[in-house]
Structure 1
Amino acid sequence: MPASTMRTVNLVVALALSVSGAGVLAGCGTEKATGNDGEVHRTGSLPAHVADRALRVADAWDDSEAAAMWRKGYYPMGEVIQPPQDLHHDDMHAYETGNFDLAGDLPPAPPKVGRATWESGGSLTLPLVDPQKAYQATDRASSPGPRLVVTGAKLGAMTVATSRGPATVPAWLFTLQGYATPLRRAAVNPSKLPHPPIEPARGVPTDVLAPLGGLSKVAADGRSVTVVATHGSCDNGPAVEALEAGDSVVLSASVVGSKDGICTSEMLGRKVTIHLKRPVGERMLLDASTGRPVPYTEWPRTSPSWS
């Protein structure tokens, strides 16, 4: 860290206990180290080299050009597609699997740009997504079972949770057969990610440091975050640790333990909830393994919304 920087860092360890995403706080004492760069308070039992990696990621982003670009962009941290709240059971299954049929005409090409406007102030002009492309991104499966029928669409708006707080963005409102309220899908794509100011960690075993699968939820009060952590079929599941800094929260994922028996090669995902010392606010959520912001994901239905 630069000599001029003084930072208090809280490290919280959350172990995944179930696929539903329950997590517990764990800690094994407090270690205090003092150096030329000030004091670092470390809570938990994180290996020193992993803690050092997390600190280097936080420092690389601190006051960087990439961080400045991030704070000016549009990066969803919540769902960019919102179905009617009264979806029936079978129709909810169709929505989650992406089973749709188009039984009407979609609007012609829209205006070229739209505007995202933040509740906290500020706005950003973004290219509008063609309604046909927005529909195709929603209708992503042709599996047997119930299907939702889209009969038309019009341009409207929706509120999306973003890295800069709630924003109102243009949205395609798709009319669904049998429903009075539409399915909303954001009509703008996320901003291009800035080039990260630090390279990914290389040559590190996943039981020490692994990439995260994505961000699933930020609590309404900002005091906890739920992420998807990946693991294999012959281990005891993932663990995620959070290193809290002034401008960022760096998440370090790893795989715990091992099991005997036949192991398949599939990659599994488990939701892990990490409780923080103070609300996330506008701090960046960073992945210690990749050195990049953690993308929002609707796992297991879709891949991360941006990467």
Structure 2
Amino acid sequence: MRNATLLRLLVVGSLFAGAAACGDESAGDIGVGGGSAHGPEGSTERAREVAEAWADSKAARIWRERYFPMDDAVQLPEGAFRSEADERAYATQNFEPGGPLPSRSPKEGEVRWRDGDALALPVSSARAAYEKLAKGRNSDPSLVVTGARLGTMSLDTSRGPATVPAWLFTVKGYDTPLKRVAVAPSKLPGPPIGPLDQSAGFLQPLSGLSSVSRDERTVTLRAQHGACDKGPAVAVLETADNVVFSAGVRDPSDGPCTSEMRSEKVRVKLDRPVGDRMLLDALTGRPVPYDAPAGSPAPSWS
């Protein structure tokens, strides 16, 4: 078993219901060998299991060596949008062709990181990239695409900022192009630990990672909760290799309640910057997925 030098458990917002019943304690430094912790009964143990399974695992090496985007697949033209109609057209993915698209593209393109590492990946056609954008079925309003060329765009990945191949679409009325990534994410590795049986009941799934602050000390996650509680709460366990988030709900009702599920953003403050550490979900045992909007590529697990 890998021993972490120091683990710190922080609770965001109010404590989980299981911990609240035991009184209001302040979060403390804990080690792998023991110590008190906040959160629902069993959540800290599960977070440790996930952290230890991923540390120095084959899956972690793959995550750090391949291309897993953590940013939008689309970058808008400068000044977008010029009107509410254009904004609505984009939101409904309502595009229309106003000129020919390139019929050929290179078989491969390079994803290149700031440290000089590069990874060759298949490049999609301009038509395929356009169809990822143009999924709307309304006739009005629409954005008119008059052409495209292959170029690059910069985005964040699991390995930090990278320059990736992208189709640069010319949109009528805009001086700069709309960019869309032209390569698909790498296939995710099989995780070194399985998901927790949700019948245990003390953890909820995270919907995704929304953002990381510029100083990498605050992570914004989208968490789920029900209609009869006081919202989501997220605890975090930090190690040298990764950060494990345990999501639950605050003050759930014991009485009758609808089955409605809601989603809410939660900000989690870390003891130190994320750096190259992995961000993991205690419930699933997998990296927290990027909370991608429509049109963004989504990796799938093997």
Q: Identify the TM-score tier after normalising by the shorter chain.
A: 0.7 to 0.9
CA contact 1:30–1:41 (8 Å) conserved in 2: no
Aligned equivalents of 1:296, 1:56: Cα separation in 2: 23
**Distance between the aligned counterparts of 2:262 and 2:30, measured in 1?**
37
Deviation of 1:106 (Å): 1.2
Deviations 1:59-114 (A, max 9, x none): 00000011111110111111121011311242223223322222221111311110
Report Cα offsets for 1:39-77 as digits up to 9, x if no partner: x676x6223410000010000000001111111011111
Q: SS of 2:286's equivalent?
A: coil
Counterpart contact for 1:76–1:160, Cα < 8 Å: yes
Distance 1:136 1:240 in 2: 37
TM-fit CA distance, 1:292: 0.6
**Preserved CA contact (<8 Å) 1:151 1:175:** yes
Residue 203 of structure 2 aligns with which residue? 209
Deviation at 1:298? Answer: 2.9
Shift of 1:181: 0.5
Cα distance in structure 1, aligned partners of 2:59 and 2:208:
20
1:67 match: secondary structure: helix
Q: How does 1:79-118 map to 2 (within 5 A)?
A: 79-87=72-80, 88-90=82-84, 91-118=86-113
Partner AA of 1:77 in structure 2 = M
Instruction: Give the aligned residue type for 2:11.
Output: V
Per the alignment, residue 6 of structure 1 pairs with 4
String of CA shifts for 1:187-217, please: whole Å, max 9, x gaps.
01111101000000014455x2011111111
Q: Which amino acid aligns with 2:70?
A: M
- The answer to whether the Cα contact below 8 Å between 2:111 and 2:165 also exists between their aligned partners in 1 is yes
- Provide the C-alpha distance between the structure 2 equivalents of 1:84 and 1:238, rounded to a whole number of angstroms: 35
> Does 2:183 align with 1:188?
yes
Q: Decide whether aligned partners of structure 1 residues 209 and 261 sit closer, same or farther in structure 2, where only a CA change above 3 A counts.
A: closer
Map 1:133-212 → 2, pairs under 5 A: 133-143=128-138, 146-206=141-201, 208-212=202-206
Q: What is the distance in 2 between the residues matched to 1:135 and 1:41? A: 54
Distance 2:100 2:281 in 1: 42
Aligned equivalent of 1:236: 230
Q: Distance in 1 between matches of 2:193 and 2:66?
A: 19
- Aligned identity (percent) is 48
- The structure-2 alpha-carbon separation of the partners of 1:278 and 1:32, relative to structure 1 and needing over 3 Å to count, comes to closer
1:271 and 1:143, CA in 2 relative to 1: closer, same or farther beyond 3 A? farther
1:71 aligns with 2:64: yes
SS at match of 1:169: strand
1:109-128 mapped onto 2 (5 Å cutoff): 109-128=104-123
Structure 1 distance, partners of 2:227, 2:35, is 35
- Relative to the length of structure 1, the TM-score reads 0.86
Q: Which residue of 1 aligns with 2:219?
A: 225
What is aligned with 1:283?
277
Measure, in 2, the Cα distance between the counterparts of 1:41 and 1:257. Answer: 24
TM-score if structure 2 supplies the norm length?
A: 0.87
* Structure 1 residue 291, shift from structure 2 partner: 0.5
Judge which range, 281-290 or 83-92, deviates more.
83-92
C-alpha distance in 2 between matches for 1:256 and 1:267: 14
SS at match of 1:15: coil
**Structure 1 residues 49, 144: closer, same or farther in 2, change over 3 A?**
farther
Q: Secondary structure at the match of 1:280?
A: coil
What amino acid maps onto 1:140 in structure 2? K
For 1:7-36, what per-residue CA distance to the aligned partner results, in whole angstroms no more than 9, with x for missing partners? 3111122239xxxxxxxxxx83245666xx
- What is the root-mean-square deviation of aligned Cα atoms in Å? 2.4
Aligned amino acid, residue 93 of structure 2: G
- Which residue is 1:60 aligned to? 53
> CA 1:9–1:235 in 2, change beyond 3 Å: closer, same or farther?
same
For 2:47, give the aligned amino acid: A
